[in-house]
């Protein structure tokens, strides 16, 4: 079995991968995440997931390298991590009462064979109508300033939603585990 490397510095992706009970290491890839002109959200996330995996090939030449990326489009513009309370308030206000699609990509690269498997996993989030008081209460409690969309689905962010639609709720956190399991099985990894 080839050792596994997660091409990410995200603690959220690490925590998700830990759920599979497989040993792995992680490393931050150096990748320019700027969108190309006319690039769709799905194409952007797929390109970035693949680029993140490829960025670690020289350091990890005989590994299974996992790259992942996520984009949320709001009014046609990619939403980034808010960073501040004010920016998070603006993001949640803009999401209120709307259905938004997250595009989470996954690439599993076998750096020994050069073969890779890739997928983009769409996931819809239907937000409740959120008033300013509810947004403030949520932000003060959870402080999700390092999360695109300004919520933590695995935490109290679930209270902001009316419905979730998609095949793998883990993709909303940043790593589609169901698809990853399929890919790992194809690579001969025995999962519990």
User: Catalytic residue positions?
Assistant: 69
Contact 102, 149 (CB under 8 A): yes
Strand 4-7 versus strand 24-27 pairing type: parallel
Phi, psi of 189 (to 5 degrees): -80, 130
Q: Which residues pair with 102 in a beta bridge?
A: 72, 123
Contact 69, 81 (CB under 8 A): no
Burial letters 97-118, b for 16+ CB under 10 A, else e = eeebebbbbbbbbbbeeeebbb
The whole-angstrom separation of Cα 174 and Cα 11 is: 10
* Token digits of residue 137: 């209460």
């Amino acid at each position: 079995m080839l050792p596994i490397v997660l091409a990410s510095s995200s603690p959220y992706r690490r925590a998700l991968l830990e759920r599979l009970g497989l040993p792995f290491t992680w490393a931050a890839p150096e990748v320019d995440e700027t969108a190309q002109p006319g690039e769709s959200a799905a194409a952007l996330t797929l390109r970035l997931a693949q680029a993140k995996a490829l960025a670690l090939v020289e350091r990890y030449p005989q590994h299974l390298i996992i790259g992942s990326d996520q984009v949320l489009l709001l009014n046609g513009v990619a939403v980034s991590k808010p960073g501040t309370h004010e920016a998070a308030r603006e993001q949640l206000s803009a999401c209120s009462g709307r259905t938004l699609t997250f595009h989470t990509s996954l690439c599993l690269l076998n750096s020994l064979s050069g073969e890779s498997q890739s997928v983009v996993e769409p996931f819809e989030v239907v937000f409740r109508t959120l008033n300013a008081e509810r947004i403030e209460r949520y932000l003060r409690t959870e402080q999700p300033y390092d999360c695109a969309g300004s919520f933590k689905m695995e935490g109290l962010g679930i209270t902001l939603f009316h419905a979730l639609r998609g095949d793998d709720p883990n993709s909303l956190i940043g790593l589609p585990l169901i698809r990853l399991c399929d890919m790992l099985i194809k690579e001969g990894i025995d999962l519990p």
